Structure formats: C-alpha cells, structure tokens
C-alpha cells in the first residue's frame, strides 16, 4: 500500500466525469488499498478516485465501523433534507453550508465486482452524495450556499 497525493480543487481532474471500472483486478485492488491508507492518513470520512488523480468511479466512505469500498456506485434513493457544514480533503481548511438529503441508499460493486446496497443517514448520507458528486466532476464548492466563517464553525453551524 502507499499514500497518494490528494489533489486540490484547482486540478482539472477534479472537474471531469469519471469512467466506470470494468477490470476488477490487482490494479483496482492497489488503488482501493492506497485510497484507504490515504483516507485514514488524512483523517477524512470519504475519498473519491479523482481526488487522487484517477478518473474512475471508485469511492471510499468511512462509516466509523468500516471503510466501504464503492465501485461504480449509483444513488438509488434519497429522503429528507439536512443543511450543515461540509468540508473536503481537496479544499483544505474551508467549510461550506450545503444542503444534502438526510437519508441516502447506494448500489455499488465491491472490489470483486459483486453488487451490494448500503444506506446511511446524516453524515453518511452527506458523504455518499458528496463523494458521488466527485465522480461527476462536482466539488462541493459548486453546490454550497456559501463558505462558513471561523465564528460560525466554532459556534457549531
């Protein structure tokens, strides 16, 4: 395994639509392993392949209990609404006010190509939507209402 460089939002790769994964092989396994190590090293909740310069539909989400590997993920269902602070490893040190669904259900493939479904509320739902946006070339700063100030962050906005 190895750490990968996390691209910042100025990098063109973050604004491109990713291609589906078609080969479930050692190259994919290495990408997933490297992304997991990179995510944990950065102390993040989610990481998408384009954030490490790979334009493939691959996302990791740390639920607190496990790190989900989502290959070719699709958003199946959302419900409710939440508004809150959102950050991104590719936009270090900044947080924006973003509306997201309260609940999200995703269908994806695992590293071996097997389909499965997972779901989450609150932070996990926010993370699913945020990371899947990355796969379509969307960074949260494009969908946020506004950046939050230091005062708002300290007050728990």
What's the CA gap between 152 and 85, in Å, rounded? 9
Known catalytic residue: 131?
A: yes
If phi over 0 gives left and psi between -120 and 50 gives alpha, with beta otherwise, what is residue 15?
Answer: alpha
Distance in angstroms (rounded) separating the CA atoms of residues 78 and 100? 9
Catalytic site residue from 131, 142, 145, 150 = 131
CA of residue 51 relative to chain centroid, distance: 9
Beta bridge partners of 143: none
Among all residues, which ones are annotated catalytic? 131
């Amino acid at each position: 395994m190895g750490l990968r460089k996390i691209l910042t939002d100025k990098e063109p790769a973050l604004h491109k639509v990713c291609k589906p994964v078609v080969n479930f092989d050692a190259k994919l396994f290495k990408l997933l392993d490297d992304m997991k190590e990179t995510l944990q090293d950065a102390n993040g909740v989610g990481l998408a392949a384009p954030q490490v310069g790979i334009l493939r539909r691959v996302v990791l989400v740390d639920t607190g209990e496990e790190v989900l590997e989502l290959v070719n993920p699709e958003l199946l269902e959302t419900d409710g609404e939440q508004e809150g602070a959102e950050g991104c490893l590719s936009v270090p040190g900044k947080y924006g006010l973003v509306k997201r669904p309260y609940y999200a259900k995703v269908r994806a493939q695992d590293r071996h190509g097997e389909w499965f479904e997972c779901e989450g509320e609150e932070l996990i739902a926010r993370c699913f939507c945020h990371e899947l946006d990355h796969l379509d070339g969307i960074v949260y700063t494009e969908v946020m209402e506004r950046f939050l100030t230091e005062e708002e962050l300290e007050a728990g906005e």
